[in-house]
Structure 1
């Protein structure tokens, strides 16, 4: 500090007419004053730090940049692997990692996770300050997923919870979801008919297509953005839209260098902003013309049939004065929020469950036996059957536990300093609940890397459905930032899984004797899962639904 001060003093006085003795005296006084001030501040900080509890364990940060250079140089690890390696190095279930101006608090303890999301929910109910990427997503509006808390956020969350994802609305749209389950069955059956009674099916594609179809039916009362396919399969438009949604989800959960060094934002060194912008442009290209046309119909009183879908509900809401409650921009961001919250988890969980079941034929056999016993082969499984399908539920729970789509939840930001479990958590800290760390915690789970649905039957947690209120793994989070659509998410996931297992016999492709599962520290299948499907129900059952589609 003294060297810097001398340098500054020289710059100030090098061309000054002040005598040299006066210059030296001024420099000396400045250095003395600064030194005294520095040591006073240092002593206060040291005294205060001796009184307050320690931060969670973690590496010692470097001046100014924290531990950011170490993260950027970890070429052999993804960011989530690097964070977990630090927690393993310090043998801790909660850590503190300083990345320049941010303090990251990763957590893999379910007990501590409950502290953050339940006991101290009001403290950790916010998000990071609005970033350029979030502003790009919301265009100045407020996202229920990403925006900090405030009056506008509470308004949007209240609408989502009370008007859209309430039991009445979800039940009213049961027919649309069932229709999409029937369409999925017809599509796969059509593929088998074209190939002599069996077909190679891209499981990732059909699960994502199913989730996208349900979203479009519930949001816009339509399956296709353009011309429909006769066999019920996806067109280019639907596939492009689904991939854009998944890209946005990945960007939201990703670490970007500009999040920690804001001055680098204009350069977009990791391409994060460009990727997000392109994906959002795709979503808006398909969704916004539908939204704008429908809003115009309601504003001009041309919508006479009443609310047929979620978009109608959002547009028709009015305040106490009889004015429309939501602006068109608010409607657009709520539509995106609903899609982002629904598209990833069901399709990922079912693809992984199918991969694990094909890797363990006895588990697959038990799941199919339960379906035949509870539902039979004379009718198709329905949402009303889900509560009785305990083994299938256990399989889905295990898939969520072992194979989360994202390694972390979106960060929960502390609103002020607080002490939790004896650790000091500074204001502004970003708490990351590790989905993979919680679900694979060896203290909680015996043989955590083994896919074992029986564990959920033995401990009785299967009675909870696919939710896990104690946060030993995460399907739907809790607290004010919790997922309000857990019932809908359960229905989508379970119906997709049950229809696939009931409707078809699944086998590995020729020349394959084992599923190529990734390494334990990886979260995703490196390639889409391809399996051979063969109808296992009466052809008349499939044909009946095909006739309804035409």
Structure 2
């Protein structure tokens, strides 16, 4: 009897310690700091009362003096991270556990039900589409194949700005809207790569956008704004369909515009290949259509093709165009920076030809300016959210399964523990030994930071596969605009207003600046 009693007692103690071991991270490790949530709704009332939500989250982070913050929205723990070392724990040390995306209204609509590579949750569809993007769309060989298409748009960029300098102006300088220049250059490149065309309609007589292209770009940036934009129904799915914050209507309208332009081109091209009227590939749309599975059947459905093109357009145009506009605005207010960058360009390229992609590796000061624009002025406050797939501990905090992890672009890039004078635009901070007398050729710069001190392109399993394309699309317009033209404030204005928009991270007012040619006419007249 005593033996059985001892055995029972031993079993009870063993069970107790097993349970304690399995659950100890819940008791030892607390959630990251954050505001006290209400029952059921969590902190949704505060989120709705403090729009836009990203500014509310950053204010909480500052007020609580923390680099990792947790707010509960409905039943979802949303964790915001502003510290590079903690960010690396999420995306390097425990990357496999955070390799999924949460389900959300905007992502589901844009990806046509999670058919794409960037927005889809972890799973076979995501693996399939990501493999296609990396191997078939943006491989080094494919980028080389599309080199001429990109250069055509870089040439058109110079030609368009040059015409703005000469239109109705005998002095040879003119006012240029650099938001239009940057956004439409980026969009033209992607249209060329996918559809082998710059315009959907006739375009502008000066090489600029027509009405169709303006509507197309506006729709893309509506999606940039509302994708993962703290929609109430994402945290309380029972409210889905009511569209209480109006996000669903905006997303659907923007998608309708894009599909109006894209779908006829895609459907006609698919039919051409089926009928045998087309035999040679000319762009990435042809690549997507002609992919085959192991049984020689078409690998992608038309819905997968259509959704992927929209997703990749969104991913390609937002960061480069925003960095170009902000970077030039900051540098106009610091003329010595413009002198540094033009000196490097003149030394590397000279004044008898235009910058080419092959020159970019030598233009470290240009790259430093772009890095600084990404650091100080990211297009979005947060990276697309990562989903925690299992309970875990990060930086001694408990992160529950199902949590949404938001890496704060602005929090990382402006963290005062990492950056000296974090709110000042200082390209030299990215150069190891500071600016040299001529070239900065003692350093090799890229636009990425593997330690996540700022985020231009994400890393890990969900990292951006298009780093090389994004780099080219950022550096080429930067280099061409600085090399070909001098930039200054418009007449009767002392400095460029660098006020940020209340609703997003763009300049409150589009950058309009005075441009004047600095290269010979025969070089600029392409």
Q: What's the TM-score once normalised by structure 1's chain length?
A: 0.87
Structure 2 gap ranges (5+): 1-18, 435-441
Following TM superposition, by how much is the alpha carbon of 1:92 offset from its aligned partner in structure 2, in angstroms?
A: 1.1
Equivalent position to 2:278, from 265, 279, 303: 303
> SS of the residue aligned with 2:98?
coil
Distance 2:114 2:56 in 1: 34
SS in 1 for 2:431: helix
Q: Is the 8 A contact 1:358 1:364 kept in 2?
A: yes
Residue-by-residue CA offset, 1:284-303 (whole Å, 9 max, x unaligned): 01011101100111111111
Secondary structure in 2 matching 1:528: coil
- State the match for 2:186 in structure 1: 211
**Candidates 69, 75, 98, aligned match of 1:124:** 98
Answering whether residue 507 of structure 2 is matched by residue 525 of structure 1, we say yes
Contact 2:191 2:197 in 1 (8 A): yes
1:122 alignment partner, SS class: helix
Q: CA–CA distance in 2 between the matches of 1:478 and 1:293?
A: 37
Q: Matches of 2:381 and 2:418 in 1, distance apart?
A: 18
Matches for 1:49-448 after TM superposition, within 5 Å: 51-74=27-50, 78-129=52-103, 131-194=104-167, 195-196=169-170, 197-304=172-279, 306-448=280-422
Using the size of structure 2 for normalisation, the TM-score is: 0.91
SS in 1 for 2:176: strand
Aligned match of 2:459: 478
CA distance in 1, matches of 2:416, 2:44: 28
* SS in structure 2 at match of 1:446: coil
Q: Deviations over 1:269-321 (max 9, x none)?
A: 221001000000011010111011001111111112x1111001111111121
Q: How many residues align?
A: 496
The Cα offsets for residues 63-85 of structure 1, whole Å up to 9 and x where unpaired, read as 111122122222xx521111111
2:476 pairs with one of 495, 508, 515: 495
In terms of Rg, which structure is larger? 1
Q: What does residue 6 of structure 1 align with?
A: none
Q: 1:99 to 1:140 in 2, by over 3 A?
A: closer
Please give the alpha-carbon distance, in whole angstroms, between the structure 2 residues aligned to 1:390 and 1:233. Answer: 30
- The answer (yes or no) to whether the contact 2:195–2:284 under 8 Å persists in 1 is yes
For the Cα contact (< 8 Å) 2:107–2:114, is it kept in 1?
A: no
Deviations along 1:236-289, one digit per CA (max 9) or x if unpaired, are 111110111111111113111222233333321221001000000011010111
SS in 1 for 2:241: helix
The 3-state SS of whatever aligns with 2:444 is helix
Q: What's 2:10 paired with?
A: none
Shift of residue 338, structure 1, vs aligned partner: 1.2
Q: 1:464 and 1:273 mapped to 2: Cα distance? A: 41
CA contact (8 A) 1:253 1:406 kept: no
- Preserved contact between residue 394 and residue 462 of structure 1 (Cα < 8 Å): no
Tell me, what secondary structure is at the counterpart of 1:458?
A: coil
How far apart in 2 are the matches of 1:204 and 1:223?
18
Q: Secondary structure at the match of 2:99?
A: coil
- Cα distance change on mapping 1:125 and 1:141 into 2, 3 Å: closer
SS in 2 for 1:381: coil
